[in-house]
Amino acid sequence: MLPANKIYMKKGDKMLKIYNTLTREKEEFKPLEENEVRIYTCGPTVYYYAHIGNMRAYIFMDNLRKVLKLNGFTLKHVMNITDVGHMTSDSDEGEDKMNKAAREQKLSPWEIAEKYTKAFLVDLDKLNIERPEIICKATDHIKDMEEFVKKIVENGYGYETSKGIYFDTSKLPSYGELSKANVKENKAGARVEVDNEKRNPLDFALWIKAPKEHIMKWDSKWGLCYPGWHIECSAMSNKYLGHQFDIHTGGIDAIPIHHENEIAQSKGAYGKGPAKYWMHVEFLQVDGGKMSKSLGNNYTISDLEKRGYSPLAFRYLTYTSHYRNKLNFTWEAMEASQKALDRLKDAYQTHLKGNDDIPDDNINEYRDKFVEALNDDLNFSSALAVVWDVIKLPTKSKKVAKLLLEFDKILSLDIDKKEDKKDNLDITEEVLNLLEKRKEARKNKDFVRSDEIRDKLKKMGYIVIDSKEGQKLEKAN
């Protein structure tokens, strides 16, 4: 028997259902072992700040955790930190991301990884995202990866070339099962093949022989090497969760290459795919298009804060769309979400002060609806609609406030905490431009200019504080 969370555990059509990318079906969730759900999440590549698209993926991960717990499950959840370089593209080509960042920022790859891992964890906290039980770094598991590669080779699924060890996809008839159509397209030769040593165009690197200039490399059976990107997730999930676990999560971009290759590696080593359920979160777009550094729209959580928005208002924004749908970020939507969150907090306070009575049956009905929405493949938008129905009740009651707090255990919006609203700072485009110019001046060590801008901002009512995370604004008294 499951250690049912007495209040919420539902039977039949109320049971938790999740969409499984592997079967393309919404399935009733049944864990492999009764008491513990084992989950693996592909973590960040720590060569730069995580953007709000990445954070959508981690909010999704946290939502999943909280809904599973609500259903009475205990969790063993692993998330990796990719702190070893892999190539700029998924297909092992181009310059290594960690190497590139290290070169550009004049830091070692280890320093780069440390800097951005810290920043990532700060963002998790700001968004009330619980830490998975195990967070593991790729660089701490190089030997586990080498062993995994050896096993694949021993089983006849890997071969050596002058560049490294490759997975032979032709040995695995099921290769492509996760992405289905996409792989067929690739097989038809959509990609230009440059490596003649590879037996098949879709074969991918498991272990790469390090060129001289490559900074991160380790001694191994095959000389100085570094791991292919996909092997780290296979090795770490296998180490902490066993050959097969319950749920693997990630963004949809991981389906056709990274996750397909994780499945191949696990089958090559242990004869079965690593996860029973695969869950993927759709992309966040900005102004209806792709986020990118070159467009300057790969916003971070700090960017939102600089404009006076609370990170949790962004969390709220993610609830306005189902995780399997695209989410379009605009500043108008951000503003609307901040306002909605502020209203939610106010409404909570109103109910808290209320003395009206409300029948328990009504409360239970709303709770059931809320849980039903969540159990329907994590439908947070529907759950949020229930929250608004509750808030709008004309009856103002402490019982309602208590129910809202219960909901907030899942929503994680801190509805009972009064918003600091960043001291009501109204940060205009002009202020943002001045901050940008000051940042530039400081980068060029033009401190006279930097101080001029600081004084100008002070006259406008803002105090600039320089912190490790950059410039922060406070209201001048």
Q: Using the rule CB under 6 A, is 158 a contact of ligand AMP?
A: no
Q: Which is nearer to ligand AMP, 52 or 347 (CB)?
A: 52
Q: Using the rule CB under 6 A, is 257 a contact of ligand AMP?
A: no
Q: Which does 54 bind (CB under 5 to 8 A by kind): ligand AMP, Zn ion, none?
A: ligand AMP
Q: Which does 251 bind (CB under 5 to 8 A by kind): ligand AMP, Zn ion, none?
A: ligand AMP
Instruction: Report the residue number whose CB is nearest to ligand AMP.
Output: 251
* Among residues 37, 42, 55, 378, the one that binds Zn ion under rule CB under 5 A: 42
On whether the CB atoms of residues 87 and 80 are closer than 8 A, the answer is no
What is the 8-class DSSP label of residue 199? S
Q: Which is nearer to ligand AMP, 250 or 311 (CB)?
A: 250
Q: Which is nearer to ligand AMP, 131 or 409 (CB)?
A: 131
Q: Using the rule CB under 5 A, is 68 a contact of Zn ion?
A: no
Q: Using the rule CB under 5 A, is 279 a contact of Zn ion?
A: no
Q: Residue with structure tokens 């009575």? A: 357
Q: Which does 45 bind (CB under 5 to 8 A by kind): ligand AMP, Zn ion, none?
A: ligand AMP
Candidates 428, 427, 449, 426; CA nearest to 437 is 449
Measured from the CB of residue 257, what is the shortest distance to Zn ion in angstroms?
Answer: 10
Taking the C-alpha atoms of residue 19 and residue 117, their distance in angstroms, rounded to an integer, is 30
Q: Using the rule CB under 6 A, is 78 a contact of ligand AMP?
A: no
Residue 424 Ramachandran class (φ > 0 left, ψ -120 to 50 alpha, else beta): left
Q: Which stretch binds ligand AMP (CB under 6 A): 280-288, 310-318, 367-375, 388-396?
A: 280-288
Taking the C-alpha atoms of residue 97 and residue 206, their distance in angstroms, rounded to an integer, is 17
Q: What are phi and psi of 386, to 5 degrees?
A: -65, -40
Q: How far is CA 197 from CA 165, 166, 168, 260, 437, in A?
A: 11, 10, 12, 22, 51
Q: Residue with structure tokens 């002070």? A: 458
Q: Using the rule CB under 6 A, is 44 a contact of ligand AMP?
A: yes
Q: Using the rule CB under 6 A, is 268 a contact of ligand AMP?
A: no
What are the residues whose beta carbons fall under 8 Å from the beta carbon of 416, sequence distance 6 or more?
A: 345, 348, 405, 408
Strand 25-28 vs strand 17-20: parallel, antiparallel, or unpaired? Answer: antiparallel
What are the residues whose beta carbons fall under 8 Å from the beta carbon of 69, sequence distance 6 or more?
A: 5, 75
Q: Which amino acid is at 369?
A: K
Candidates 285, 274, 231, 286; CA nearest to 249 is 274
Which alpha helices (DSSP H) does 127-228 contain, by range? 142-154, 181-185
* Among residues 129, 178, 231, 254, the one that binds ligand AMP under rule CB under 6 A: 254
Q: Which does 233 bind (CB under 5 to 8 A by kind): Zn ion, ligand AMP, none?
A: Zn ion
Q: Which stretch binds ligand AMP (CB under 6 A): 40-48, 156-164, 176-184, 364-372?
A: 40-48
Q: Using the rule CB under 5 A, is 78 a contact of Zn ion?
A: no
Q: Using the rule CB under 6 A, is 132 a contact of ligand AMP?
A: no
- The binding track of 212-251 with respect to ligand AMP, each residue x by CB under 6 A or -, is --------------------------------------xx
Taking the C-alpha atoms of residue 384 and residue 380, their distance in angstroms, rounded to an integer, is 6
Taking the C-alpha atoms of residue 458 and residue 20, their distance in angstroms, rounded to an integer, is 54
Q: Using the rule CB under 5 A, is 233 a contact of Zn ion?
A: yes
Q: Site residues (CB under 6 A) for ligand AMP?
A: 42, 44-45, 53-54, 56-57, 250-251, 253-254, 281, 283-284, 291
